Structure 1
Amino acid sequence: MSILLLAAQAGPELRDIHLPPPPGIWPLAWGWWVLIALGAVALGILVWSLRRRAVRRRRRAALAGAFDTALAGAGDPAARLRTMSEHLRRAARLRDPGAVALRGDAWLRFLDGDDPSRPFSAGPGRVLESGPYQARADAAAVAKAEPLVRRRYLDMTGGR
């Protein structure tokens, strides 16, 4: 027994527990890289959509300005009606090349598009059917049709 006691007492000298250093912030774990990549993609999509919206807004303002300038240059209601009709025909050609050949009610139905209220074929836009081909036009009817034609022109040219 004395040998066991002596061996236990004469053993190696033990040191205190040595802990590893705390983990650093770099290099990041793979989960953080995934979050950074998702954040970068989301930021890219946000920047892209904001730029696209700004371009659309500038395009719409330019188209509206061109339309308004052309109408301001037309003097009497008949000339204003011809100018509106000309701009709508040009815009329709951009949307559907076959629309240039449409006349009468078919042209008005094309201008109505998907609008269930049918503002051209059964509303103030009806003045566009034969009005541009007449020497005189009703000023009140042209004034009622103007905002409708302007909105449809901007929609057809992509100035949404």
Structure 2
Amino acid sequence: MPNPIDPQLLNQLHDIQLPQAIGWWPLAFSWWILILSITSIVIGIAWYIREQRRRNAYRRKALKKLLSIQSGELHPAEKIAKMNALMKQVALTTYGRMEVAALQQQAWLDFLHQKASYISQPDCLADCLQKAYAGPVGADIEHFQIENCARYFAKWIKGHHQ
């Protein structure tokens, strides 16, 4: 029986051979499912954001036009009349001609309130609209009333229900 501590025997021993490390490729089935799920979610979110931007393009255009009307050098009655015409245009775009075209005076204000009831209408809105369409008499519309109406119109454009 050979001596277990014999140096010749120890010299004949080879190093331990470790197996190769397990690689990432090919991926396991669960990794493919995860990649597919994450890709689908990202594509879905991108599509949703793009669709929302497309659907709300009229809001952005209307807000730009409202700002240009508000900052323009127009008679106060003309400003209110143009703002109201813009609101009608937005409502026609959103709700259709059958529902909006015939609305005027109190019915128009009720419609605006109904479609965005959480936005409070300024007290001067009905008075301003009436004065705006009364002709040259509409000159007594105050600057703060125009600002209140413009602020309300901007909030309504941003937040009305579809």
When the two structures are superposed, what TM-score results if normalisation uses the length of structure 2? 0.66
Which residue does the alignment assign to 1:33?
A: 32
Structure of higher CA gyration radius: 1
SS of the residue corresponding to residue 130 of structure 1 reads: helix
Q: Is the 8 A contact 1:92 1:156 kept in 2?
A: no
1:115 pairs with 2:114: no
Deviations 1:47-100 (A, max 9, x none): 334545666787654432222213333512111111111111111111222211
Which residue does the alignment assign to 1:14?
A: none
C-alpha distance in 2 between matches for 1:57 and 1:94: 11
Residues 69-88 of structure 1: matches in 2 within 5 Å? 69-88=68-87
C-alpha distance in 2 between matches for 1:70 and 1:133: 17
C-alpha distance in 1 between matches for 2:119 and 2:42: 41
Deviations 1:24-47 (A, max 9, x none): 322111111111111211222343
**RMSD of aligned residue pairs (Cα, Å):** 3.3
Residue segments in structure 1 that go unaligned for 5+ positions in a row: 1-17
- Identical-residue share of aligned pairs (%): 20
Residue segments in structure 2 that go unaligned for 5+ positions in a row: 1-16
Which residue does the alignment assign to 2:126?
A: 126
Q: How many residue pairs align between the two structures? A: 139
Which residue does the alignment assign to 1:104?
A: 105
Give the C-alpha shift of residue 142 in structure 1.
2.5
C-alpha distance in 1 between matches for 2:141 and 2:158: 24
